Amino acid sequence: MDWLQILSNSASSILSPATIGYALAALGLAMHFGYGGLINMGIAGFMAIGAYGYAISVLTFGLPWWLAAILGLVAAAVFALILGIPTLRLRGDYLAIVTICAAEIVRMVGRLAALAPITGGSTGLVGPPYRGPFTDLSPLGTGSTTILWFTYPNTDPGSGNDWWTRIVSWGLVAVLLALTWLAMRSPWGRVLKGIREDEDAVRSLGKSSYSYKMQALIIGGVLGGIAGILVVLPASVQPDGFGRPLTFNLWTIMLLGGAATIFGPLLGAIIFFVVRIAIVQIMGEFIPTSILNTQQTQALSWVFIGVALMLIVIFRPQGILGKKKELSFNA
């Protein structure tokens, strides 16, 4: 067994734009649940809105990439507003029910054959046409660069698997983590955490819990929209890629790192991808294809992730970086 190759493949996932996108989506989920106490079971829908908003704006309307990205985020904010207006005044699990249904509606609309000229239908939208305007901004030029054991093209409009996409994505993560850290230590953040702990007490102080929860839902939704754009930049927009399994994975990532933490979602995303890739490759080395083929090995890796989620909730409900006295998963 080539352990060095397995280690290299697992480590390469740390820099992957998909890992970064999942980390930001989990950060948006942490804004909802970890800080606001909102159970959002449809974060994949926000990602889909952001991704489709960006890609359609570029491909159908020919807008500049930056304006397309803004429109995608505005669409995610409007989506949050539409979901929040009828549900945030209610108690219990109403938001969870509405969000999971809304995310499925978004996915099914993306699959509609009638909208295929715009959304691509069930086949989705291919990446290079909407990726080009973004990669054209790269100052890195052609060729490849090796840093440690990571070697990628400087700029690759065809696949997006390049240093330019990674640098921009990680820079964006650093900025958004810093802004979230500042927001959670502001008076606004303290009120939001107070609503999570005791909404009635906060309302008795004259604060509008509905307003604060709506703001948290919108901000977390915008983070999900950004994540959706980052995930599809080096790939393509596929409606079935924004289904229920994506939301399940993001909850796993958030709970693994810590729901009420700033850096927990990032740590959770890194561990999630590194461990999963390592599991798949190790099983591929030890288990003959006559017993488990590649597709079955991939499926079995998700079983391990499901078991890991149960163990996290039972033995470490606050996550790796979380504080037990601040938040545990007690739903």
Task: Label residue 5 by pLDDT band (50, 70, 90).
Answer: low
Average pLDDT over residues 327-331: 48
Query: Is the pTM for the entire model greater than 0.85?
Result: yes
User: What's residue 289's pLDDT?
Assistant: 78
Indicate whether 267 pLDDT > 70: yes
Indicate whether 210 pLDDT > 80: yes
pLDDT digits (tens, 9 = 90+) for 41-78: 999 999 999 999 999 999 999 999 999 999 999 999 99
180-205 in b/e burial notation, b at 16+ Cβ within 10 A? beebbeeeebebbbbbbeebeebeee
Q: For residues 91 and 130, which has the higher predicted lDDT (pLDDT)?
A: 130
Indicate whether 1 pLDDT > 70: no
Average pLDDT over residues 136-159: 81
- Whether residue 223 contacts residue 230, with contact meaning beta carbons closer than 8 Å, is answered with no
Residues in CB range of 155: below 8 A, 6 or more apart:
135, 138, 140, 141, 142, 162, 163, 164
User: What's residue 6's pLDDT?
Assistant: 67
Paired tokens of 131: 């990726």
Q: How far is 181 from 189, CA to CA, in rounded Å?
A: 9
Average pLDDT over residues 193-208: 90
- Cα 208 from chain centroid (whole Å): 29
User: What's residue 160's pLDDT?
Assistant: 74
pLDDT digits (tens, 9 = 90+) for 79-123: 999 999 988 887 667 889 999 999 999 999 999 999 999 999 999
Q: Which domains does the chain have, with CATH numbers?
A: 3-315 (1.10.3470)
User: What's residue 125's pLDDT?
Assistant: 93
Indicate whether 327 pLDDT > 50: yes
User: What is the share, in percent, of the chain residues with pLDDT greater than 90?
Assistant: 56
- Whether residue 227 contacts residue 265, with contact meaning beta carbons closer than 8 Å, is answered with no
Q: How far is 238 from 111, CA to CA, in rounded Å?
A: 9
Task: Label residue 331 by pLDDT band (50, 70, 90).
Answer: very low
User: What's residue 15's pLDDT?
Assistant: 82
pLDDT digits (tens, 9 = 90+) for 211-226: 999 999 999 999 999 9
One-letter amino acid for residue 206 of the chain: G
Q: What separation in angstroms does the CA of 292 have from each of 281, 286, 298, 300?
A: 12, 10, 9, 9
Q: How far is 12 from 150, CA to CA, in rounded Å?
A: 7
- Whether residue 130 contacts residue 115, with contact meaning beta carbons closer than 8 Å, is answered with no
Task: Label residue 186 by pLDDT band (50, 70, 90).
Answer: very high
- Pick the closest to residue 308 from 266, 264, 255 (CA basis): 255
User: What is the share, in percent, of the chain residues with pLDDT greater than 70?
Assistant: 95
